[in-house]
Structure 1
């Protein structure tokens, strides 16, 4: 006959050993899986970061190109407005007087100079000048922004 205490004790120990081995294997498997997942996450986050950096770089290049085009068009528009005003200065001389014609010519020259300065400066220089203006005169800057917004709203509201 088999002694129940001995077989139970041996069966219990065997079960404990099997359970301990299973727990150790599960821990090892979990650690290996965690390592694989961490590696995969690092790889994917690196890829995403690279893609985001490439996208940001492309966006910056395009934005700079659009800003340069806008600066050139604004400069051309200012110079064109200056010419138009200058061409009509004679009419103002006739209708209102020579004194006012000179005011118009002076304004025309100021606009032409502003257009030329705008064309000669880089975007970085213009940006720094704008920042400096806002630092020195924040109230005036806000007022100009509000006035510009109002004018643009009126212009686009009619369309």
Structure 2
């Protein structure tokens, strides 16, 4: 083959190779841009779903907290009634002094149940924070006791 023809073929091959290389680079850049766009959209979608889930979880937690507060109030009232109903029996068996202690405890439980029902969750949280600040050792002891009872309950 002649050198001129060989140089022309080489030049044409190099030209085609460079054109293909430029086209591949442009295609890779386009794919990269599309990937970035898709990733951004997926991130935005995930963030929106996460915010929706967070809002739903907060709403559900609030509902459960209100329900738990109501059940705790009912339990205190029920215990108060049981103690009050048995106060006469305590009078007979242990004496009027102990019967009065039982009635006093019953009134105290009933008052606490009423106060619990009347307070909002925010007020209860504020009261809890204040009690913890005043007596952190008692708070830690109560938390340990509650943890122990839950562990026993779910064992």
How many angstroms apart in 1 are the aligned matches of 2:86 and 2:123?
Answer: 33
Return 87-96 or 104-113, whichever deviates more.
Answer: 87-96
How many angstroms apart in 2 are the aligned matches of 1:10 and 1:117?
Answer: 98
Unaligned stretches of 5+ residues in structure 1: none
Partner of 1:73: 71
Residue 1 of structure 2 is aligned to residue 22 of structure 1: no
SS of the residue aligned with 1:88? helix
How many angstroms apart in 1 are the aligned matches of 2:137 and 2:122?
Answer: 23
Compared CA separation, residues 123 and 7, structure 1 to 2 (3 A): same
Return 113-122 or 135-144, whichever deviates more.
Answer: 135-144
Compared CA separation, residues 9 and 145, structure 1 to 2 (3 A): same
TM-score in terms of structure 2 length: 0.85
How many angstroms apart in 2 are the aligned matches of 1:51 and 1:39?
Answer: 18
Return 28-37 or 42-51, whichever deviates more.
Answer: 42-51
Compared CA separation, residues 80 and 19, structure 1 to 2 (3 A): same
Q: Give 1:119 deviation, angstroms.
A: 0.4
Compared CA separation, residues 99 and 146, structure 1 to 2 (3 A): same
Unaligned stretches of 5+ residues in structure 2: none
TM-score in terms of structure 1 length: 0.83
Residue of structure 2 aligned with 1:31, choices 9, 29, 46: 29
Q: Give 1:154 deviation, angstroms.
A: 4.4
RMSD over aligned Cα, in angstroms?
2.2
Q: Give 1:125 deviation, angstroms.
A: 1.8
Q: Give 1:128 deviation, angstroms.
A: 2.7
SS of the residue aligned with 2:98? helix
Query: Which residues of 2 match residues 1-159 of structure 1 at below 5 A?
Result: 3-4=2-3, 6-155=4-153
How many angstroms apart in 2 are the aligned matches of 1:17 and 1:99?
Answer: 110
- 1:116-150 Cα shifts (integer Å, max 9, x gaps): 11101111222232233334333222211222233
